[in-house]
Each structure stands twice: as structure tokens, then as C-alpha cells.
Chains A and B, each alone.
Chain A
Amino acid sequence: MINVENLHKSYGKLEILKGISTEIKPQEVVVVIGPSGSGKSTFLRCLNGLEETTSGKIEIVGRELTNPKTDIHELRQHVGMCFQQFNLFKHLTILENITIGPIKVLKRSKAESEQIARELLKKVGLQDKEKNYPDQLSGGQQQRVAIARALAMKPKVMLFDEPTSALDPEMVGEVLKVMADLAHEGMTMVIVTHEMGFAREVGDRVIFMDGGYLVEEGSPEEIFGKPKEERTKSFLAKVL
């Protein structure tokens, strides 16, 4: 589903990603952990072209992202993304936030899009909020809407960029539950997070990044139970 080969990313002279290679299979749930500044968010944002890569190759949903001829807008229809700050469209209602993609990008009818949106709102437990505006919702509710907005495009892969980092502690659970449900339904997911419990329970594989390198990857049992690399050990000692 995703194939990354020797991915490099620099801002000017500052090298953020120093050669990342990995492969993600359909239906796999991959959790990316690591200290802040390790490049994990940048790595995730490269996967849908929000960040331009400096060199290397990315294949995702059957398209070669790093080929300049690839239609990046078409590619992004198949790759959903959730952000740390939710980024719901502030001027649109909850329902409009979810339907704008299907209507304007996929050219679906308004009626069909609204039906899909209502089903998704029900799924994330917010069917009574469709007429509200984003600022009238709590952070946890906004993030669930953001997930519904991404799902309305019927993506093949979902990317999550620290989806619970901006939330009050009591709201983290409701968002993680929606993500866990999604994982159980077989969605392919790449999740950058600091929620180690979630990584252990829901992740099929854990990637540990540090200093722009993919230091170690393996099953949650391997990474959390018996990490091989010193840097992984010292990081886990701090966060667990």
C-alpha cells in the first residue's frame, strides 16, 4: 500500500529526514513514535505530498508520489489525513465540513454526500451536531469530525499526525476509540502519536524514529518488550 525508499527531506541545509525506507501493507496499522524533532511528522506529511521530498521514492495507493507527473490532487483523494489541530473549516457547519470534499472534489450530488456524511457522523457519535460550527465543539468532538471528513472521501489509507496531542486528557479516549474501530474494520493507517498504550494495543507495527532516521521497527511486543537499539531503550525509559 505504501512503499518508501531512501526518503530524504531538507529545509535548506537542515536535514530532517536522512534516508527513510519502509513498506506498509494493506490493512496494516503502523504507529510512528519518537522524540519531538525526530522527523516523524515530516515523514507522515511527505506521504501525501504536504511536504515536498528532497530525494527518494514514495509509492502510495498504487501511485508514484515522487514522480512529478503524478496528479497529486487525485492521489490525495485516496489518502485521508487528520491533523493535530483538527483544521476543520471554520466557516462551514459540521455537515458542510464533511460534504465539501465529496461535492467539490468527487463531484457527488449534495443529497448523496449528505447521506454519507450523516452515516459517518453517526459512526463517530456526533449525529446531533451537524448544524453546529467547529468552534462550538470540544477538541475531541472536532477531531472526530475531522476523521469523518477524511473518511467521506473513502480513502484507502489514513494518516494521523498526533491526533490527540492537542486534546484535554479526558477527550483522548473518545478519539482513540474511533481510531481503534477504524483499525478493526481493516483500514490501512499510519499514526504519529505519543499514546504508547494505544500503539501497543492497536498497532500491528511500531516504527521508532530519532534524529531523522528510522532507528528500529517491529511488532509492539518487540519494540516495547525487548528493543534492540540503545536509543529506543532510552526513549522508552523516559516515556513509559
Chain B
Amino acid sequence: MNTQVIWDNFPQLMEGLKYTVYYSIAAIVLAVIFGLVAALMKLSKISVLRAISSIYVEVFRSTPLLVQLFFIVFGLTGVLPLNEWFGQKAYPIIAATITLALHEGAYISEIIRAGILGVDRGQKEAAASIGMKEFQTMRYIVLPQAFKRMIPPLVNQSAQTIKDTSLLAPIGIIDLVYRGQIVISSTFEPFTIWIAIGVIYFIVIFSVSQFAGYLERRVQLDKR
């Protein structure tokens, strides 16, 4: 194996990793927001909101992310002038990030919903008994307790999101995989470069999962 080729092209790969990290962070932040909204809708008393949330979650969980990306980035532009509205360069990036966030958000909504349902009913009753309105109970009592428990699975889902960003390369968005393919096309060293890409992903994702494990142990120790 020619390891020199890795070091020669290391800055190129790091440039790709930088974008992978950017897209991951943007997608995770948006996904938590989408997930929270979907979870609250699913727990709402209003049946229309519950139905919308269910449809969203099931559609995004039951179709492949790659198909979702192709549909929203290339499919929708066939019927709407989205490239003109958002810009030829910006639209695929914005659309892909939002699609990724919607996909992860569908999973996160289930994590958040389970977290909210896991909070003892007595906590809500106590909040109600001192005159708190429903949204105050959710904001000050239920969500802070639920989030504590949700942190480990949310960090795990973040690791999943980083992996899923590799699907942005096939739709032409520059990330670690995309950069790696450029390096391969100029060096003709697919074996070495794919290993290097794998190792870089492994280091990042393994660190994140280890962090999730650490948080999990802390949450269990911390009985509060």
C-alpha cells in the first residue's frame, strides 16, 4: 500500500472532511428542531397535527435517504424553478441539508417522543397543581427532564447523521467522499484512498459513539 499518496493528498481529504462536519452539524441542529416539532405534534390533542406528524415520520423512515435526496434535489427542480429561486449553486446544498435533516428528524422525533412519555406523570400533575399551563409544564418541567434522558440516543443519532452525509456525494455535493473520489481520479490509488476515507470516518464516528456511551453511563449514575 502506497501510504505516501495519503499524506500528499491529506489537505484535500481534510477539506472534504470540513464540509462533512459542516453538513453534519447543520443537519443535526435542524433535525432536532424538526424532531421536536414532530414529537410535540404527535403528542398533541389535535388529530390533524398527529396525522401530519405520523405521515412525515413514516414517509421519511420508510424510503431510502438517497431516493429522498435525488427526489428533492433533482426531482422537484423538474416541476419548480427552485434553482432560479435559490441559485444554481445554493439550491442543491440547501435542499440536501434540509432533506438530510428531515430524514434524521423523523428518527429524532421518536427519540424525543419516548423521552417526553418517559417523564413520570406525577411531575405533570404537580406542575398543573401549582397552576402551570400545558406549555409551561412542557417547557419548564417535562422537557428539561426528558432531554437529560434523550442525550445519549441523540448523540447516537448524530453519529448516524455523520455517516449519512456520505450520501451527499452522489448528488454532487462536496464532502469527504466527493473529495476522495477526486483524489482517486488523479492518483489512481482507489485501494489506499478508500481505506484512508474509511479511517477518517471511523475516527470521527467512533469518537462520537464513545462520547454517547460516556454520557449514557453518566445519566445512569446521576439519578437526579
Contact = CB atoms under 8 A, between A and B. Distances in A.
A88 B127 CA distance: 9
A33 interface: no
B131 A150 contact: no
How many residues of A sit at the interface, in one of the four size bands?
Answer: 20 to 34
Interface in A62-95: 73-77, 79-81, 83, 85, 87-91
Contacts of A105: 130-132, 136
A104 interface: yes
A35 interface: no
Interface stretch (B90-98, B141-149, B155-163, B180-188): B141-149
Contacts, number: 67
Interface residues of B, number: 20
Contacts of A88: 126
Interface of B: 120, 122-123, 125-133, 136, 140-141, 144-145, 148, 223-224
B140 A74 contact: no
Which of A48, A101, A104 has the most chain B CB within a 10 Å cutoff? A104
Which of A50, A91, A153 has the most chain B CB within a 10 Å cutoff? A91
B224 A104 contact: no
A208 B123 CA distance: 29
B132 A104 contact: yes
A73 B133 contact: yes
Contact of A50 (B129, B132, B133): B129
Which of B122, B125, B131, B224 has the most chain A CB within a 10 Å cutoff? B131
Contacts of A104: 132, 136, 140
A213 interface: no
A83 B125 CA distance: 9
A73 B130 CA distance: 8
14 contacts: A50-B129, A73-B128, A73-B133, A76-B130, A77-B131, A80-B129, A83-B122, A83-B129, A85-B122, A87-B122, A90-B145, A90-B224, A91-B224, A100-B140
A235 to B, nearest CB: 28
